[in-house]
Amino acid sequence: MERRSLRIACYLSLADLILAGSAVWAADFQAGLQAYQRGDYAAAVREWRPLAEAGEADAQFRLAGMYSGGQGLPQNVAEAVRWYRLAAEQGHTEAQYMLGVTYQMGGRGLQADYSEALKWYRLAAEKGSAKAQYAVGFAYQSGAPAGTSSGASVLAPDLNEALKWFRLAAEQGQADAQFSLGVLYAGLRNTASRRIPEDYAEAIRWYEKAAGQGIAQAEFNLARMYQNGVGVAPDPATAIKWYEMAYDHGLVSAGFDLGAIYEYGRGVAQTAKRLPSGMNPPRMPETQLRGSG
């Protein structure tokens, strides 16, 4: 009986130590976070490095970011990768995503490795990271992660897989994925001339969601659809609204299209008064809806 009581007491003491240690770690991590937020990067490093070296994944992730950005530490991509990997191998989702980004971008002595990037993107995507889901979707759409060099390919393009991953990200509100879904439903062809069956109602729905988050190209595509009556009845007033929003968000080509509408009176009274300052509309035929093949 005494032996059993002693064993229980030992277990309780061990549990108390673990809880106490966790509380200390949490306090130290929070102190590092507060230092980081006020711009005292050296203090943040002092708080986070011991935690990272003891295996705390959040601290490893934070330390990696500081090596990556050169905040309080000399910029060192190799060290960033080392710490991202240590956190990622513990299942840290953000570290998995950032490891993917780092391998995709390469630079500063690190050779870009698109296969390695996709591996980590996929792990993060499977755990629900919307950014990673978008990255995986883009890779399936084009054969490589976004921004990779021309001709680089790490997997066979598959628009159905792209659609699946874009939808997972889009349903979490990821704006680029929402736009990409619109493009797929509008009839984008891949390099093998394959396409998702056109569904203009779905294209408009996802373009509108992306436009609601300020994606200028989504606004532009909506304008073209309303101007040309693609999936909707032609509606010049709505087309003009979307062209103006796209132009206001920095898409210069929307200004040219808007100018052409007013100069040639396409569905509105002919006038030049709404032309963006300094622009003359190009004299060109109607172009095809962007995103259709």
pLDDT at 146 over 70: no
DSSP string, 5-58: HHHHHHHHHHHHHHHHHHHHHHHHHHHHHHHHHTT-HHHHHHHHHHHHHTT-HH
pLDDT at 149 over 60: no
* Gap between the Cα atoms of 96 and 61, Å rounded: 9
Mean pLDDT for the chain overall: 84
Least-confidence region, from 14-28, 138-152, 156-170: 14-28
Using alpha carbons, list the distances in angstroms from residue 261 to 208, 237, 278: 22, 11, 16
Q: What percent of the chain has pLDDT over 90?
A: 66
Q: How confident is the model at residue 49 (pLDDT cuts 50, 70, 90)?
A: very high
pLDDT greater at residue 5 or residue 285: 5
278 phi-psi bin (left φ>0, alpha ψ -120 to 50, beta other): left
pTM: 0.80
Domains and CATH numbers, the chain: 1-90 (no CATH), 173-293 (1.25.40.10)
pLDDT at 285 over 80: no
pLDDT score at 107 = 87
Amino acid at 285: P
Q: How confident is the model at residue 157 (pLDDT cuts 50, 70, 90)?
A: confident
DSSP string, 208-227: HHHHTTT-HHHHHHHHHHHH
Q: Closest Cα to residue 104, out of 63, 164, 144?
A: 144
* Across 37-47, average pLDDT: 96
Tell me the pLDDT tens digit for each residue of 89-140.
Answer: 999 999 999 999 999 999 888 999 999 999 999 999 999 999 999 999 999 9
Q: Please name every residue paired with 262 in a beta bridge, in sequence order, or none if there are none.
A: none
pLDDT at 293 over 50: no
pLDDT score at 261 = 85
Contact 185, 196 (CB under 8 A): yes
Question: What distance, in Å, lies between the first and last C-alpha atoms of the chain?
Answer: 80
Contact 177, 133 (CB under 8 A): yes
pLDDT at 197 over 70: yes
Contact 47, 29 (CB under 8 A): yes
Non-local CB neighbours of 175 within 8 Å, separated by 6+ positions: 209, 210, 213, 214, 215
* Across 163-179, average pLDDT: 98
SS3 277: coil
Q: How confident is the model at residue 282 (pLDDT cuts 50, 70, 90)?
A: very low
Contact 134, 142 (CB under 8 A): no
CA 6 to chain centre: 55
